[in-house]
Amino acid sequence: GAGVSQSPSNKVTEKGKDVELRCDPISGHTALYWYRQSLGQGLEFLIYFQGNSAPDKSGLPSDRFSAERTGGSVSTLTIQRTQQEDSAVYLCASSDRVGEQYFGPGTRLTVT
């Protein structure tokens, strides 16, 4: 079946603008995760959803970052008033059981 998809694949925005990143998980996967990967770095956990609720938002770097999930499926990560240090690849993953996460292709965000 279809894997995790993300859109857009690339986003260039000016400093101070808001951006929305979208994730479509694998159908039937109840858990959804957002990660951030900076150049040459590992994956940094941002937020976890189980269904539509987010029991763990501990990785969100500031209150400019927020995320929601509707219908137990699509999730949107919003970054307000973007800063240059927000430039990174934002990866979404989903799973139907503990641990086995399957990643999307990511959104490369560049803040100029």
- Please give the residue ranges that form the binding site for another protein (CB under 8 A): 4, 31, 33, 41-45, 48, 50, 56, 91, 95, 98-106
Write b or e for each residue in 56-77: b if 16 or more Cβ atoms lie within 10 A of its Cβ, otherwise e.
Answer: eeeebeeeebebebeebbebeb
User: Shortest distance, CB of residue 74 to another protein, whole angstroms?
Assistant: 18
Which residues have a Cβ under 8 Å from the Cβ of 13 and sit 6 or more positions away? 19, 82, 109, 110, 111, 112
* Residue 16 C-beta: closest distance to another protein, Å: 28
Minimum CB separation of residue 39 from another protein in Å reads 12
